[in-house]
Amino acid sequence: MLRDGGVAVYENRRKSGPLGPFVEGYRSRLLSVGYTPGTVEGILKVLGQLGRWMQTEGLEPAELNEAHVERFLTARRGEGHPKVPGMRSFVALLEYLRDEHVIRLSLCSHRRRWRSWSPATGSG
């Protein structure tokens, strides 16, 4: 792992499974809306976990939706992982993939909440 501006840059994006090609763009998006480098690093770690899970499930990025994320979170909890984020943590990723025309996503109920907690708004 190399460091670029305090944020981890993954040498091998394949570690993120089928989401690997989107790591750097998503990283840039998060930084641009005010996330700190340390927070971005943690978010990208979870993105990698999701991507590897997608690979084992045979899912392509275009197939990702809220129901799949919920299944991923349930699987992580079932495996006994001590720190499993909530669905709200994935709203920015789903929006990014939608904005990049990777997935078709209708606005979800979590979206408004993410926007209100976004670092760029200074609230939450």
Q: What is the pLDDT of residues 43-87, one digit of tens each?
A: 999 999 999 999 999 999 999 999 999 999 999 999 998 889 999
Report the pLDDT value the prediction gives residue 13, as an integer from 0 to 100: 46
Report the pLDDT value the prediction gives residue 104, as an integer from 0 to 100: 86
- CA–CA separation, 8 and 37 (whole Å): 8
CA distances from 13 to 18, 32, 33, 48, 121 (A): 9, 21, 23, 9, 31
Contacts of 23 (CB under 8 A, 6+ apart): 10, 13, 16, 44, 47, 48
- CA–CA separation, 30 and 52 (whole Å): 21
Residue 8 in this model has a pLDDT that exceeds 90: no
Residue 108 in this model has a pLDDT that exceeds 80: no
- CA–CA separation, 11 and 102 (whole Å): 23
Query: Partners of 3 in the beta sheet?
Result: 8
The pLDDT confidence band at residue 15, using thresholds 50, 70 and 90, is: confident
Strand (E) or helix (H) holding 22: none
